[in-house]
Amino acid sequence: MPGGRERELRRRIGSIQSTKKITRAMELIAATRVVKAMQRANAARPYARLITSVIEDLAAGGAEVDHPLLRQAPEVRNVGFIIITGDRGLAGAYNTSVIRTAERQVMAHVSEGKGYSLCCVGRKSASYFRFRNYRIDNAMSGFSDNPSYDDARRIAETVSESFLVEAVDQVELIYTEFVSMGTQRVVVRRFLPLVDTEMMAREGSGTGREGSFEFEPSPEAVLEALLPRYTEARLYGALLDAAASEHASRQRAMKAATDNAEELITKLSRAMNQARQDAITTEIMEIVGGAEALGGGDTTDVDIALASMLAGTDASMPTAAGASPA
Amino acid sequence: MAVELDVELVSPEEVTYSGSAEMVIVRTVEEGDIAFQAGHVPFLGVLAPWSVDVLRPGGERDTFAVHRGFVEVSHNKVTILSDVSEAADEIDTTRAETARQRAAEALAVDAEDVEAAAALERAELRLRVAAA
């Protein structure tokens, strides 16, 4: 039946157009969120920097402590992992690349005969590892696109707790680092045990401060109060980076989806226009053929039939000939 | 003109306050108030849950309720790092009052309730700072 193919193509174009509307909307939303997430990450930087500089001062002041968070286990038997992914998909490779790195890490430790303990942050990592029958000790979600400091504190407390009771001897933090709008990369960082203060001081900005600080109550007491805050601040920074990365990835993925939809619509419109022209040509041929068979050479009947048909399809003919995809 | 201090109150989310001051008064965990003026030796201390008073050059006073944190003083710069702090005008007094009553009731039932004691302390600090 002529026109059947045309109708089918028209339906497909319609459905791609509505998909495109959705991806376009998601792209725009992600674009505004990524800006906000970057601002939050920047606003959080002074605190992290200052905490590090306080640690530098403590190192300069000669604080020596045997804090449980600094405990270096002689033999690492169980490794904890904090895996930070998003709650929702449609963000390109964002979730899968974190999950893939995490799984490889877990496998590497398991093959060395160590135990593992997973702390999944974000719904995506939790559902992935749950489906594959990994044992998940902690799963937290619902804040991946807008993490608060309280969320960071909750995670840091849970993980520090299991480190302090020696359920794990080492904790790795796996998240996506936000380098720039165009670049985000998955990183694996040692979360616990904390490296000693001198190492932390060296990791910091190294501004060469003087070592004549007065401490109250004592360098050791300050450091002891400081270390839990330091872990929280680090985790908070990671969460903010991950959130910014998630939005940036989603924006990019949705932009690609929108572009693809546009391309597909162009292609399908061309195919549709061609199908319509084919149908019209076939129809004309049928009429001409039929009229010739009836009239037996009398051309006036054919002309009349053709003229009436052209008048009927007048509206669609010029566009069909023009084949404009817009 | 006297040398002034730069004061910054920094929370994990953002820098919540910054300005200059003639004097900053805090309380450290040793149960002692300590005031900083320009030229103070470098100092690093753990703060008690208490108020932080910033005396501005014009004679104004900004008060904050700081529930925990650190103070660092060096090069005429006072930095207060705190993950739980509020400015006096941000405090919801009615909420603090109900929280205080609730904590007091919980303490009356169970005097050993550590959380209620902490809540009571927080609420009282909020009310005191808001009243100042």
| pLDDT per position as a tens digit, A268-320 | 999 999 999 999 999 999 999 998 888 765 556 667 767 777 776 554 444 44
Instruction: Quote the pLDDT of residue A147.
Output: 92
Instruction: Quote the pLDDT of residue A11.
Output: 93
Question: In the predicted model, is pLDDT for residue A200 greater than 80?
Answer: no
Residue A62 confidence class, pLDDT cut points 50, 70, 90: low
Instruction: Quote the pLDDT of residue A201.
Output: 56
Q: Do A58 and B44 touch (CB under 8 A)?
A: yes
Residues of B with CB below 8 A from A236's CB? Answer: 12
ipTM of the complex: 0.82
Mean pLDDT of B105-131: 83
Which is more confident, A265 or B109? A265
Instruction: Quote the pLDDT of residue A256.
Output: 96
How far, in Å, are A18, A268, A274 from residue A5 at the CA level? 20, 11, 10
Q: Are B62 and B88 in contact (CB under 8 A)?
A: yes
Question: In the predicted model, is pLDDT for residue A30 greater than 80?
Answer: yes
Q: Do B44 and A149 touch (CB under 8 A)?
A: no
> How far is A56 from A35, CA to CA, in rounded Å?
32
Paired sense of beta strands B50-55 and B5-10, if any: unpaired
Instruction: Quote the pLDDT of residue A321.
Output: 44
What's the distance, Cα to Cα, between the start and end of chain B in Å?
A: 28
Which among B13, B14, B79 is the nearest to A50, CB-wise? B79
Q: Do A217 and B14 touch (CB under 8 A)?
A: no
Q: Do A213 and B44 touch (CB under 8 A)?
A: yes
Average pLDDT, chain A: 85
Question: In the predicted model, is pLDDT for residue A179 greater than 80?
Answer: yes
Which is more confident, A303 or B121? B121
Mean pLDDT of B39-61: 88
Question: In the predicted model, is pLDDT for residue B126 greater than 50?
Answer: yes
Provide the percentage of residues in chain B whose pLDDT is more than 90: 17
> How far is A190 from A173, CA to CA, in rounded Å?
6
Instruction: Quote the pLDDT of residue A205.
Output: 44
Instruction: Quote the pLDDT of residue B102.
Output: 86
The domain segmentation of chain B, as residue ranges, is 5-88, 91-131
Question: In the predicted model, is pLDDT for residue A206 greater than 80?
Answer: no
Instruction: Quote the pLDDT of residue A242.
Output: 94
pLDDT single digits (tens) A246-261: 999 999 999 999 999 9
**All residues at 6 or more sequence positions from A290 whose CB lies less than 8 Å from its CB, including other chains:** A305
Q: Do A236 and B12 touch (CB under 8 A)?
A: yes
For residue A65, give the DSSP letter.
-
Query: Mutate which of A210, A222, A235 to test chain B, going by most B C-beta atoms within 10 A?
Result: A222
Architecture of the domain made up of B5-88: Sandwich (2.60)
Instruction: Quote the pLDDT of residue A237.
Output: 92
Q: Do A50 and B30 touch (CB under 8 A)?
A: no
Query: Mutate which of B6, B8, B13 to test chain A, going by most A C-beta atoms within 10 A?
Result: B13
| Of A313, A239, A248, the residue nearest A280 (C-alpha) | A313
> How far is A288 from A244, CA to CA, in rounded Å?
66
Question: In the predicted model, is pLDDT for residue A211 greater than 60?
Answer: no
Instruction: Quote the pLDDT of residue A208.
Output: 47
Question: In the predicted model, is pLDDT for residue A197 greater than 70?
Answer: no
Residues of B with CB below 8 A from A44's CB? Answer: 12-14
Instruction: Quote the pLDDT of residue A210.
Output: 52
Residue A195 confidence class, pLDDT cut points 50, 70, 90: confident
> Quick one: closest CA in B to A218, which residue?
B45
Least confident of A82-96, A181-195, B55-69, B105-119: B105-119
For residue A163, give the DSSP letter.
H
Q: Against a cut of 0.90, is the pTM above it?
A: no
Instruction: Quote the pLDDT of residue A12.
Output: 94
DSSP E strands, chain A: 78-84, 115-121, 136-140, 170-178, 184-192, 214-216
Strand partners, B69: B47
> How far is A253 from A92, CA to CA, in rounded Å?
5
3-class secondary structure for A196-211? CHHHHHHHCCCCCCCC
Provide the percentage of residues in chain A whose pLDDT is more than 90: 58
Question: In the predicted model, is pLDDT for residue B58 greater than 90?
Answer: no
> Quick one: closest CA in B to A212, which residue?
B42
> How far is A95 from A128, CA to CA, in rounded Å?
10
Residues of A with CB below 8 A from B74's CB? Answer: 57, 209-210, 213
